[in-house]
Chain A
Amino acid sequence: DVKVTQSSRYLVKRTGEKVFLECVQDMDHENMFWYRQDPGLGLRLIYFSYDVKMKEKGDIPEGYSVSREKKERFSLILESASTNQTSMYLCASSLLQGFGYTFGSGTRLTVV
């Protein structure tokens, strides 16, 4: 069964901490995405990557950065976590043309 695996289901961090969210896919997909999901706001794209070391800003990139050193792994970095970054974070991957979009189960991050 193909999978997108996010390293943590729940995470609690303090304000100002540097936070790493990790995502691994085993489908050899070219594209990888990071979304945050908030009630009433749906799925908002933070960053995506269409190739190793390549990245594109999504709709809400402020306060975040990403890293993709290997095709299967895509990391989301919160440089200095703030309480307004408390959210559910979802990783996804897809083929280059956008087919086969597959989501992970999400990481619920709480910043206190």
Chain B
Amino acid sequence: QQQVKQSPQSLIVQKGGISIINCAYENTAFDYFPWYQQFPGKGPALLIAIRPDVSEKKEGRFTISFNKSAKQFSLHIMDSQPGDSATYFCAARGSTLGRLYFGRGTQLTVWP
């Protein structure tokens, strides 16, 4: 059973547009929600993260929106750039030994 569901699987956005990736979870014990960015040939790297007591976190062009009651969170990339083309993973931290549960990933392509 997949603990974190991520959509869409792939996303194509024009340069300057807004990219939106959505995730949903069921386990209310999850207490930390990071997003990872992976470029081809590299391992995933932490992009931005949020705790459930905050509804929004912004770092530059990247924003996480968090809806605790709906058990959903999303990544918004404003003014998307070709350099943002990568695979994005959402994740949630379980209470057992700090393990992260990952979504299946979204492959983002930003056209120039």
Contacts and interface: CB of A to CB of B under 8 A. Distances in A.
Partners in one complex: yes
A4 B43 CA distance: 10
Given A42-B89, A98-B32, A31 B102 contact: no
Interface stretch (A12-20, A62-70, A72-80, A100-108): A100-108
A96 B98 contact: yes
Contacts of B9: 40
29 contacts: A31-B97, A31-B98, A31-B99, A33-B99, A40-B104, A41-B104, A42-B102, A42-B105, A43-B44, A43-B89, A43-B102, A45-B99, A48-B97, A48-B99, A90-B43, A92-B43, A94-B98, A94-B100, A95-B98, A96-B97, A97-B98, A98-B32, A99-B32, A99-B98, A101-B46, A103-B43, A105-B42, A105-B43, A106-B41
A75 B30 CA distance: 28
A56 B96 CA distance: 11
A34 interface: no
A105 B41 contact: yes
Residue of A33, A50, A103, A105 ringed by the most chain B CB atoms within 10 A: A103
A94 B45 CA distance: 12
B15 interface: no
A101 B100 contact: yes
Interface string B41-55: 111111000000000
Interface in B47-97: 89, 93, 97
Contacts of B32: 98-99
Nearest to A4: B43
Contacts of A96: 97-98
B34 A101 contact: yes
Given A40-B104, A98-B32, A98-B93, A104 B99 contact: no
Contacts of B98: 31, 94-99
Nearest to B9: A40
Nearest to B3: A59
Contacts of A97: 98
